[in-house]
Chain A
Amino acid sequence: MPAYAYFPGCSLEASAKEFDTSFRAVFDKIGVGLKEIPDWSCCGSSQVHKVDKDVATAIAGRNLVLASDIGDIVAPCAFCSISLKEAIIKLEHEGPIRSTLIEAGLEYLPGSVSVISAVEATYRAVEEGLIDGKVQSPLTGLKVAAYYGCLLVRPPKIAQFDDPENPSSMERIMVAVGAAPVDWSHKTECCGNAYIFVNKDMTLNLVRDVLNAAIEANADAVVTACPLCQQNLAMRQPHMKQNYGLKREIPVLYFTQLMGAAMNIDGQQLGLSGNIVRLINKRQQEAKEVG
């Protein structure tokens, strides 16, 4: 059984728990092992690299070293995966940072490990046919807007995955579980992520634009692969409908949650609300009636 070194990241331990549980459940179902990196630490992304990029590289490097005994890393959070990927590129050339690591008892060997995001890992699994036969109740008729946000495919030199302007891997995954991805304009626009505390108005404007674009494209739900995007897009919809011109509320889910639903994984494990389950059933029913 193929296995990855699993790097959940801080968010998946807390606010994005359902991403963690649904991702583990789906990979368990398709028979790909995930071994959590022992004693992993912060990936160095988001804020740390702005304060000191060398420190960010060093603390990302720590995780790389810890994982190198296990195998290639899968890091579901887009911030984590891009941060670890960048560290790999930097550590190639940064001797001093490697020495710092050695002083902390960690020897990094360039080329010893690689990093992919949850979408990449899933995309590979789909391409390799690992989900064949696992989709017991395909999400027929469910129109989804695949939302990549920024860091999943950007910057291309670091992400090295999919098209940075018009990615399609999540769509491919959604098709594999029977859903119908919509073509829409805002799949890689930034949602404003952590700036909700700093400039709430700005963030909500950005979120509104993304959601309205999905609504305009007639999507039933938005699927994401980033904990910050999911929270940002999902959380303040009633408020935005009142004050920011959001056209209607729309569910925002992790792509693994929908995959799990298609694979008949227990809703509890996926963290899916009853509303979503009912919506999926309704679409499946409609599709059946149409024929």
Chain B
Amino acid sequence: MGASVQLRSIDMDLKKEIERLSGQKLDACYLCGKCSAGCPVAPYQDIPPHVVMRMAQWGSKKVLGSKMIWNCASCGTCYTRCPNNIDVARVCGALSQISRREGLVADKVAATLREKFVESVKNNGRVHELSLVVAMKMASRDYLGDLDIGIPMFLKGKFPLFGHKIKDLNNFQKLFDSKKKGDK
């Protein structure tokens, strides 16, 4: 039903953007599948890493709607074993950035985690695990799951109620502007 991918033209802009954000050369990949073979999360995804790579080579927008790009655990297995020295995790990272920008996020929970995490870092200088956990519970609507674990941890003092804010927060937040510089 019109689902075939048009191969006539490769979206060079998207491809270049992925290469810029990830620092990886997409055409170095010859699709041997070793990344997919070793990837711990691939069996639970919609498409495996080498298909992500292939779609990225086309500059296919379809890849932006994939779950895989959000669920990469950044464990480095693919990069360690890749015969062509490609850091596939970086490619997934770049794709998820673009996917968020384009509003094509396939895994909202993963995106929320990322957002909350960065928010926590930016506001405090460090991550406050408890507020992160609470935010995630809200996002995943799994309010009661893992309470058996959470409560004892809380009681042991492992989840301090208030996060530690670093002193030099002002200067720290300046670092978040580094990107604009890099772009210039």
| Chain A residues proximal to chain B, CB less than 8 Å | 10-11, 13-17, 39-42, 46-55, 57-59, 61-62, 94, 96-97, 99-101, 103-106, 149-151, 154-156, 164-165, 188-190, 192-195, 197-202, 205-206, 235-236
Contact = CB atoms under 8 A, between A and B. Distances in A.
Contacts of A58: 175-176, 178
A104 B176 CA distance: 10
A190 B21 CA distance: 25
Interface in B71-92: 71, 73-77, 79-80, 87, 90, 92
DSSP majority for the B interface?
helix
B171 A190 contact: no
26 contacts: A11-B129, A14-B160, A17-B158, A41-B125, A41-B166, A42-B125, A47-B114, A47-B118, A50-B96, A52-B97, A59-B175, A94-B182, A100-B181, A105-B171, A150-B76, A151-B76, A190-B40, A190-B73, A195-B71, A197-B140, A198-B71, A198-B140, A199-B44, A199-B71, A206-B40, A206-B41
Contact of B79 (A62, A154, A200): A154
Contacts of A16: 158
Contact of B118 (A51, A57, A190, A202): A51
Contact of B93 (A15, A53, A99): A53
Contacts of A96: 178, 181-182, 184
A104 B179 contact: no
A42 B97 CA distance: 20
Nearest to A209: B40
A245 to B, nearest CB: 16
A129 B149 CA distance: 39
Given A13-B164, A154-B75, A155-B80, A42 B126 contact: yes
User: For chain B, which range describes its interface: under 10, 10 to 19, 20 to 34, or 35 or more residues?
Assistant: 35 or more
Interface in B50-100: 70-71, 73-77, 79-80, 87, 90, 92-93, 96-97
A189 B80 CA distance: 12
Interface in B164-184: 164, 166-168, 171-172, 174-179, 181-182, 184
A150 B71 contact: no
B27 interface: no
B107 A198 contact: yes
Interface string B139-161: 11010011001000100111110
Contacts of B153: 15
B179 A48 contact: no
Contacts of B40: 189-190, 192, 206
Nearest to A188: B77
Contacts of A42: 121, 125-127
